[in-house]
Amino acid sequence: MSTGSRWNVTTWLVGATLGVYLLVVIGATASLADAADACSSWPACGEAAGDPVVLVALAHHVMAGLVGLVLLGTAITVLRTETPRRVLGAVALAGALYPLQIGFGAFLATTGPVVPGLHLLVGLLIFGSLVGALAWQLEHETGDPDESPDPDLGPPSDGVSEESRETPAAAGAPLADRPLGARLRAKAFAYFRLMKPRLMWLLSLVAAAAMALAAATGFSLGVETIVLTLGGGVLSIGASGTFNNLLERDRDEKMSRTSDRPLVQHVVPARRALAFGVVLTALSLALFLQVNPLTAALGLTAVLFYSVVYTLVLKPNTVQNTVIGGAAGSLPALIGWAAVTGRIDVAGLVLATLIFVWTPSHFYNLALAYQDDYERGGFPMMPVVRGETETRKHVLGWLGATLAVTTALIWLTPLAWLTAVTSTAVGAAFVWAVVRLHREQTEQAAFRAFHASNAYLGLVLIAIVVESLAV
């Protein structure tokens, strides 16, 4: 089979997958639910067809027909091309469910909902089938059959090249030889770097989205709660980053991308880093306690989970470190939700789940880009243990889960068109970046997919904040 014909299959699968996702995510909005209720018959909506609200339902019917044609074209292309059986089976399942889904939609439009969410669940099943087909097809197209990673990762190498030790921090004048002002600035910046500031903006945005969404469901949200929660969150993230730097300093020295960290370069002594982390933790708890005890408990859990469970237990010992470790990134969602509501609700858990399933689709790209570095550091990351082909497939699978959970969040909450359109548009760019990652298999492609993952979550969270505040 030629490369062109294989890529033609992939193009059809991408089109069908994104088309179905567009239908599903828009179908989850309250606006479409209102339009469906106003539609007196199916598919033309009878005398109500001129109602602007009903036009939404009619557009959805037309879109379903167009996507059905794309799915039919996909099925024909797969049948006419040499593809793995599981790709054929997944497309066949989606093709069989699609007309049933349309019929079910017509039944619901004329009789009303029977089981809330069942129509959405079937749509997500079709979407999941197509994501699986796309992942298996890309594996078939681009996978390396001779790839044989070592499943038993040995201890970290003791050898570090001189090039990897040449860092910006080491290349300048020694700290002791600099003027006092320069020394103080360098010290302050070193402590700032210990806090891993690049993680702060996104995790703070997660907490902000949770607070805004909780307020949109009927809870009051004051400026004091926002300031205390985000302030405590920044300090707890800083504490977690500091402890992570402290506990991984020996491994960081062996990795080129981390060998310039303050503890590795001895800019900050280990005992002072420990004291700094403890102070940050105490200050974060002090702020969280002014909100409510549950928020403080979740904040402390976040610090302990990232510093102890993830850094000491998961990261150096299991290939599933990224997946399980995603719970650390999920906790800011629960912190933000609890700060406003004083409890943990289903919607808050779904938002936390979104961050959890997004984490592997995000971080596996970085693991691909720095595979040699992680192997040198002795970390059993997915590309090191199971190879690049398997890792790329997992990226796409977790991306599909991310899009599905976003849809569930829209269905469960007052979120509507802005979040739906944002998820579809940026999600399409994310999917295409991952497809290019499969085809190009370069460090540049891995970074492109990594940045696309950041863009997806960042823009979706911003849409959640804007839409929630507008409710």
The answer on pLDDT for 159 being more than 60 is no
Q: Report whether pLDDT(171) > 90.
A: no
285 pLDDT band, cuts 50/70/90, is very high
Q: Are 264 and 251 in contact (CB under 8 A)?
A: no
Spatial separation of the C-alpha atoms in residues 338 and 300, rounded to whole Å: 14
Identify the helix (H) or strand (E) that includes residue 449: helix 443-470
Confidence class for position 219, pLDDT limits 50, 70, 90: very high
Q: Where is pLDDT greater, at 221 or 165?
A: 221
pLDDT bucket at 132, cuts 50 / 70 / 90: very high
- pLDDT confidence of residue 452: 97
pLDDT of residue 117: 77
What span, in angstroms and rounded, lies between the C-alpha atoms of 32 and 59? 10
Q: Does residue 356 surpass a pLDDT of 60? A: yes
Query: What's the number of CA atoms in the CB half-sphere (13 Å) around residue 387?
Result: 15
* pLDDT value for 146: 66
Average pLDDT, the chain: 87
Mean pLDDT of 270-290: 96
pLDDT at 156 over 50: no
For 224-246, what is each residue's pLDDT tens digit? Answer: 999 999 999 999 999 999 999 99
> Would the pLDDT of 119 be above 70?
yes
Residues 110-117: what's their mean pLDDT?
A: 64
pLDDT in the model for residue 112: 60
All domains in the chain, ordered by first residue: 3-142 (no CATH), 180-470 (1.10.357.140)
Using an 8 Å Cβ cutoff, are 238 and 280 in contact? Answer: yes
Q: For 364-393, what is the mean pLDDT?
A: 93
Q: What is the pLDDT of residues 27-78, one digit of tens each?
A: 888 665 655 555 656 555 655 555 555 666 677 778 889 999 999 999 999 9
212 pLDDT above the threshold of 70: yes
Compute the average pLDDT of residues 170-179.
56
Burial class (CB in 10 A: 0-12, 13-18, 19+), 16: buried
Per-residue model confidence (pLDDT) at position 31: 60
Confidence of residue 292 (pLDDT cuts 50, 70, 90): very high
Tokens for 360, please give them: 């592997």
**Rounded Cα distance, 370 and 446, in Å:** 9
Model confidence at 144, pLDDT cuts 50, 70, 90, reads confident
The total of other beta-carbon atoms located within 10 Å of residue 327's CB is: 20
Nearest CA among 328, 156, 158 for reference residue 241? 328
Does the pLDDT at position 125 exceed 60?
yes
pLDDT computed for residue 174 by the predictor: 58
For residue 202, pLDDT beyond 80 = yes
Q: Which residue has the tokens 């994501």?
A: 131
Query: Per-residue pLDDT tens for 332-347?
Result: 999 999 999 999 999 9
Q: pTM (2 decimals)?
A: 0.89
Sequence-ordered alpha helix ranges (H) in 248-381: 249-252, 270-289, 293-304, 321-341, 346-369, 371-377
Dump pLDDT digits (tens) for 75-97. Answer: 999 999 889 999 999 999 999 99
Which among 460, 441, 454, 373 is positioned nearest to 144, based on CA atoms? Answer: 441
